[in-house]
Structure 1
Amino acid sequence: MYHRTILIQYRQGVSQTDASGMLGAFQNLPGRVNGLVNVSVNLLQGDYDVSIDLIFDSEQARRNCAFDDSYRSALTWARDLSDRMESTESSDGQSAPVGDFGLPMKWHKFLIYFALWAGAVLNLISGAQMFFMGINAGNAWLYEMTSGLRALYIVSGIFMIAIGVFQIFTRSALARFSRRGPRMVVWLYASLVILNALEILMAWLPFGVPLNYLLTADVWFYLIEGVLMTWANQVYYRKRAALFIN
């Protein structure tokens, strides 16, 4: 069997009626959520007030329950009543890590508090610079640029600005634990890879810039990094799908 254990510390002033109603919502989930065999509730003493153990017949069922409306509704109710809530996953014969009642969220916090903000600012600035370089003929060397190359600068600048804006929306979705947030961050890093690849193709095919000139070590690093970041974020947030319910 596969377990998801939710630990709840009630916020101050929660009534017994509200707490019982929320726990009852979880206990009514078997039969509504595919693969959910049983739900047990235990009162605790210490840091948390109650634990809710959801028992699934397969790992896939445990993963898929995050998309069930009944489960999301019960989890939202629990969040509304809690001052602190953590969860952990385990299987029979494998106990949950001692002292770690939830999946680490350091990468999530790094993204929403720094990486996405910084990336958005850099992409907005770089995109604006490329866009205005393409349309501004005031610099002498720009007179020598072909119209196609200037168009490449303009289009690339627009795409970078769009990605910068998308980073801001992605950051907001992740911070709100929106169910769209994990998909947005995966598409964000995938779009960066796609944009870099398109820029290489657009410089190589129409303008004949040699590939050995375009595919420098830095470019290879950015492409490989983008692919790895796309994959890593998909794995990271898939394991935490149950948290993103808004």
Structure 2
Amino acid sequence: MFCSSCGTQLEEGTLFCPNCGNPVAQANDTAQTQAEASAAQASAPVNPAPQFDGSTQYYTPQPVLGLKWAHFLGYFALWAGALVNLGSGISFITGLIYNGDASFIYDYFPGLQVLNILYGVCLLGTVALNVFAALSIIKCKKQTGLLVCLVYSAQVVLSLVYVVAGSIILSSFAGDASVVSSVIVSIVMTFVNRTYFNNRRDVYVN
């Protein structure tokens, strides 16, 4: 055996090196130390795998909602509606809806002329509302959903008021199938657009 410090050859059982004086490590001590280290390493606890108790929150990407319907309204439908209401408003105010028979009809139903003028003025007011709603969609304004719903709600209210008032003046139902269908469509559009724009509040924020 040899001294681990200076390399001097030693006899078996030597406790101290005669050359450098350092204690000599015995082979059995070294083996025992290595065995103890191996046992300690084997008995060391293994880090358990992380457990999830369900409280951990993960980010789930939200589906991207399309804007085709909004673009259809903002770039076409509302503008077309504004033009239709503009023409209808002028026709009701001037009596053109009766194709030249306005004076004859108004002689029998004078209250109808007042009703038509008021209705025509209201239709002209909806023209501005349509334009504001369309521009609000294009510019992604925060009040877009409200304005679009007001457009269709106004059509429902105006149509119902005109039919009721006209029926009183004429003593008969003043509406027809087109008026009824228009009211139904406007009601449906009001609720559809309300849901549609409520789901896209993060888009219309300006």
Q: Structure 2-normalised TM-score? A: 0.65
1:157 matched residue in structure 2: 120
Of all paired residues, the percent bearing the same amino acid is: 25
Instruction: Name the structure 1 match of 2:193.
Output: 233
Residue 224 (structure 1) aligned with residue 187 (structure 2): no
Structure 1 residue 206 displacement after superposition: 3.7
Question: Within 5 A, what are the aligned runs for 1:82-161?
Answer: 89=62, 96=63, 102-133=64-95, 140-142=103-105, 144-161=107-124
Q: TM-score, normalised by structure 1?
A: 0.55
Paired residue for 2:164?
201
**SS of corresponding position for 1:241:** coil
Q: CA deviation at 1:124?
A: 0.7
Computed over aligned residues only, the root mean square deviation of the Cα atoms, in angstroms, reads 2.6
**Larger strand proportion of the pair:** 1
Q: Of the two structures, which has the highest relative contact order with CA contacts closer than 8 Å and spacing of 6 or more?
A: 1
**Contact 1:123–1:163 (8 Å) recurs in 2:** yes
Q: Deviation digits for residues 50-105 of structure 1, max 9, x if unmatched?
A: xxx6x8xxxxxxxxxxxxxxxxxxxxxxxxxxxxxxxx62xxxxxx4xxxxx2011
| SS of corresponding position for 2:142 | coil
Does the 8 A contact of 1:124 with 1:165 survive in 2? no
Residues 183-192 or 217-226, more deviating: 217-226
Deviations 1:130-163 (A, max 9, x none): 11228xx996425524331100110110011101
How far has the Cα of 1:204 moved from its partner? Answer: 1.7
1:178 is paired with a residue of what secondary structure? coil
Q: CA deviation at 1:178?
A: 0.6
Report the Cα offset of residue 231 of structure 1.
0.5
Contact 2:145–2:197 (8 Å) recurs in 1: yes
Give matches, 1:160-175, under 5 Å. 160-175=123-138
Q: Please state how far the C-alpha of 1:166 moved relative to its aligned partner.
A: 0.8
Q: Relative to 1, partners in 2 of residues 1:197 and 1:143: Cα closer, same or farther, differing over 3 Å?
A: closer
Greater Rg by CA:
2
Measure the CA separation in 1 of the matches of 2:101 and 2:177: 33
Where does 1:19-98 land on structure 2 (aligned, <5 Å)?
A: 89=62, 96=63
- Return the match for 1:188 from 148, 151, 163: 151
**Cα distance, 1:207 vs structure 2:** 3.3
Contact 1:124 1:164 in 2 (8 A): yes
Gaps of 5+ in 2: 1-56
Counterparts of 1:215 and 1:129, CA distance in 2: 17
Deviations 1:95-126 (A, max 9, x none): x4xxxxx2011100100111011110110111
Matched letter for residue 197 of structure 2:
Y
Distance 1:215 1:138, change over 3 A: closer
Change in CA separation of 1:138 and 1:231 when aligned onto 2, cut-off 3 Å: closer
